[in-house]
Amino acid sequence: MARTTKPLTDTEIKKAKPKDKIYTLSDGHGLQLRIKPNGSKMWLFDYLKPHTKKRTCLSFGLYPALSLAEARSKRDEAKKLLIKDVDPKEFRDERKFLNEVAQNNTLEHIAAAGLKLRNLW
């Protein structure tokens, strides 16, 4: 049977001090806070890939910028994707790529690229 983890509190996170080596604080259900020796605190979601069943991590962001509640909601979104057999990391990367394509598919961007090519000739 799986061991239950006591959820983190904001006070525990603020009081967590850097050590000589990287260490993690677990919030439960795969959400972890990795604390590095330089003092940075990063949210990670530890999960099994749907098709290969290999363990991997998905980073959500740094602690002060991303609160505990926001990290938990991102974890829940990732778990919903895993239920549908979708890898959250691949989903995020694909969505980012599609946004870049949409941003680069404007008349202004195409005209600028055309002018750049014209100046090369």
Q: Determine the straight-line distance between the first and last CA of the chain, rounded to whole angstroms.
A: 68
Cα separation, 19 vs 35, whole angstroms: 8
What's the pLDDT tens digit per position in 79-91? 999 999 999 999 9
Note the pLDDT of residue 106: 80
Contact 43, 63 (CB under 8 A): yes
- The CA-based angle 42-45-48, given to 5 degrees, is 150
Architecture of domain 10-86: 2-Layer Sandwich (3.30)
- Mean pLDDT over 32-43 rounds to 96
- Mean pLDDT over 2-11 rounds to 84
Residue 101 binned pLDDT confidence (cut-offs 50, 70, 90): confident
**Whose CA is closest to 82, among 48, 38, 41, 36?**
48
Note the pLDDT of residue 117: 79
What's the pLDDT tens digit per position in 44-62? 999 999 989 999 999 999 9
Note the pLDDT of residue 114: 82
- Mean pLDDT over 90-97 rounds to 94
Helix (H) or strand (E) holding 38: none
Amino acid letter, 22? I
Cα separation, 33 vs 42, whole angstroms: 6
